[in-house]
Structure 1
Amino acid sequence: MKAAQARVLLTGAGGGIGQAMAAALVQAGAAVMLVGRSGERLAAQAAALRLRAGARSPELACVTADLLAGDDLARLGRAAADWDCNVVIHNAGVPSFGRLQSLDADAVARVLDTNLRAPILLTQALLPHLLRRPRAQVICVGSALGRIGLPGFSVYSASKFGLRGFAEALRRELADSAVRVQYLGPRSTRTGFNSAELDAYNLLTGTATDAPETVAAALLRLLEDEVAERFIGMPEAAAVRLNGLAPTLLDGGFDKHRRHLPPIDERADDAAPNTALQGART
């Protein structure tokens, strides 16, 4: 679908990647419904997008919603259908980094609910509407860690492996319809999504990072060429393929990553809150 024909519901619109995606979509001529938890932040973002667009006057809508609240999800689904959305971009997410023993149970649940459960339920709510469109797309913004499990990302990878599996299965389920389901897998990206611990880990392990605008450009290409999956960056894209064919061959390649994980605080109480969950792409 050409961007100029797209009416895009974009979750996580106020985050670093979300802001870059919204700007790229508007610049390409798409109408965009910005979705996030802060109405004030969304209104300021929409004003900035209109100012940048100048005389082109892009069509923008703002919906404040908590994707973990069932009532908000239902309201968002109705608003998007009334707005005649034909593209859904599941971009909202929360991170999780650290050894599994350090992760609090509530934080684990939040990661899985935000990164996996919410996109599934929002897609389910919108699917009857999307199936009535002449053409529609559902794009799941995951991660390279949805195909490669790294030390320190057990829960985050679980959520993104699940999201990629959802996209793959639904793509095949809807193959005889006009709805295309796609998956975008960025590698580490320079935004406030990353904690200081994760930035240090990336530096120590030599992990390459991209600007949010790189991810936004890849998203725009994915929208228009309608390929099923795209992973961003090398060697990540190559490692994704190798990991799919023979995952155990890569096991030894991540010894450095394991060695550079933050240590477990032996003095911490078992019930202490998790500090490895920081930020949100919302």
Structure 2
Amino acid sequence: MRLHNRTFLLLGGSGGIGQALLEPLLDAGVRVILASRHPERVTHRQGVIPVPLDLAAGDLAGQLERLAWAYPDIDGVIHCAGQNRFAGLADMTVEDIDAQLNVNLRSALLVARQFSPRFVQSGLGALVFVGSTFGSIGFPGYSGYCASKFGLRGFTEALRRELADTSVQVLYVAPRATSTAMNPDSVEQMNQALGNRMDAPEQVAEQILQAMKQDQRRRFLGWPERLFVVLNGIMPRLVDKVMMKQLPVVRRYMAGK
């Protein structure tokens, strides 16, 4: 994927993995349209244009249409935005569930719906979606998040096959646990107790950029997480047993103890 002199819409670029992606994209010669609910908080700099966008809004389709009209040179989208709630399903509010499904999944469909026809027509375009290991492995305490990320993985697979006879590139990248502000202290402590490694956002951003440059269709990050993705697909009962052993620890941190 050529990056120099491209214009990418970056969703979720004001924090976490998206924020870590900003500098490498600029270094690669990309002009970045950075979408945020609070564009006034984005530091103004050369090559970055902050724009307002609320991925959880009911009128997101209209917002995207106006954005696409205002910036007709957008030829790529990177969807890094995400919502998460570490809790048992019974402890999640309807608002918690809606936020995860709307931001993590619904917004991705609407973004692709808006931009893919333009990319097909122009003969140039890329749709990059940041998923999660939890889009392939169901983990206790993350039922809402897993539902949205499993959906995102399936959507990108279907979309890639739907656009297979076009020049549009569809890439799905699945990081493992990442140290971002989205994770409360209880999640950080749980991962330490379970021995789960967490990557820095900068490490994940580097992997995403490599996958883009190498024209990959999907990339799963982290070891042994990549192995568990495969095992969960062919021997889910084995992964069930591992999760059962971890469950008391997970429940302890879900309860905030």
| TM-score bracket for the superposition, by shorter chain length | over 0.9
1:244 CA displacement: 1.9
- Are 1:65 and 1:73, in contact at CA under 8 Å, matched by a contact in 2? no
Partner of 2:141: 152
Which of 155, 165, 172 is the aligned partner of 2:154? 165
- Structure 1 segments unaligned to the other structure (5+ residues): 51-58, 266-274, 276-282
Q: Is 2:240 the counterpart of 1:246?
A: no
Partner of 1:23: 23
Q: Normalising by structure 1, what TM-score? A: 0.85
For residues 157 and 177 of structure 2, the distance between their equivalents in structure 1, rounded to whole angstroms, comes to 22
Partner of 2:64: 76
- Are 1:143 and 1:186, in contact at CA under 8 Å, matched by a contact in 2? yes
For residues 58 and 94 of structure 2, the distance between their equivalents in structure 1, rounded to whole angstroms, comes to 21
1:5 CA displacement: 4.2
Q: Is 2:53 the counterpart of 1:65?
A: yes
Q: Normalising by structure 2, what TM-score? A: 0.93
1:134 CA displacement: 2.2
Paired AA for residue 56 in structure 2: L
Q: Is 2:171 the counterpart of 1:174?
A: no
Which of 185, 196, 200 is the aligned partner of 2:189? 200
Q: Is 2:83 the counterpart of 1:86?
A: no
Partner of 1:108: 97
1:80 CA displacement: 3.4
1:151 CA displacement: 1.4
1:93 CA displacement: 0.9
1:180 CA displacement: 1.6
Paired AA for residue 126 in structure 2: Q
Q: 1:197 to 1:262 in 2, by over 3 A?
A: farther
- Are 1:182 and 1:228, in contact at CA under 8 Å, matched by a contact in 2? yes
- Are 1:185 and 1:232, in contact at CA under 8 Å, matched by a contact in 2? yes
1:72 CA displacement: 4.5
Which of 95, 113, 119 is the aligned partner of 2:108? 119
**1:48-59 paired onto structure 2 within 5 Å:** 50=46, 59=47
For residues 117 and 252 of structure 1, the distance between their equivalents in structure 2, rounded to whole angstroms, comes to 32
- Are 2:13 and 2:36, in contact at CA under 8 Å, matched by a contact in 1? yes
- Aligned length, in residue pairs: 254
- Are 1:88 and 1:139, in contact at CA under 8 Å, matched by a contact in 2? yes
Of residues 77-86 and 248-257 in structure 1, the stretch that sits farther from structure 2 once superposed is 77-86
Q: 1:218 to 1:167 in 2, by over 3 A?
A: same
Q: 1:71 to 1:154 in 2, by over 3 A?
A: closer
Question: Percent of counterpart pairs with the same letter?
Answer: 39
Structure of higher RCO (CA pairs closer than 8 Å, 6+ residues apart): 1
For residues 38 and 124 of structure 1, the distance between their equivalents in structure 2, rounded to whole angstroms, comes to 24
Which of 198, 210, 215 is the aligned partner of 1:226? 215
Paired AA for residue 48 in structure 2: L
- Are 2:123 and 2:166, in contact at CA under 8 Å, matched by a contact in 1? no
For residues 60 and 107 of structure 2, the distance between their equivalents in structure 1, rounded to whole angstroms, comes to 11
1:238 CA displacement: 1.5
For residues 231 and 175 of structure 2, the distance between their equivalents in structure 1, rounded to whole angstroms, comes to 17
| RMSD (CA atoms) | 1.8
Partner of 1:259: 248
- Are 1:150 and 1:257, in contact at CA under 8 Å, matched by a contact in 2? no
1:211 CA displacement: 0.6
- Are 2:171 and 2:217, in contact at CA under 8 Å, matched by a contact in 1? yes
Partner of 1:270: none
Q: Is 2:38 the counterpart of 1:38?
A: yes
1:223 CA displacement: 1.2
Of residues 160-169 and 28-37 in structure 1, the stretch that sits farther from structure 2 once superposed is 28-37
For residues 59 and 145 of structure 2, the distance between their equivalents in structure 1, rounded to whole angstroms, comes to 26
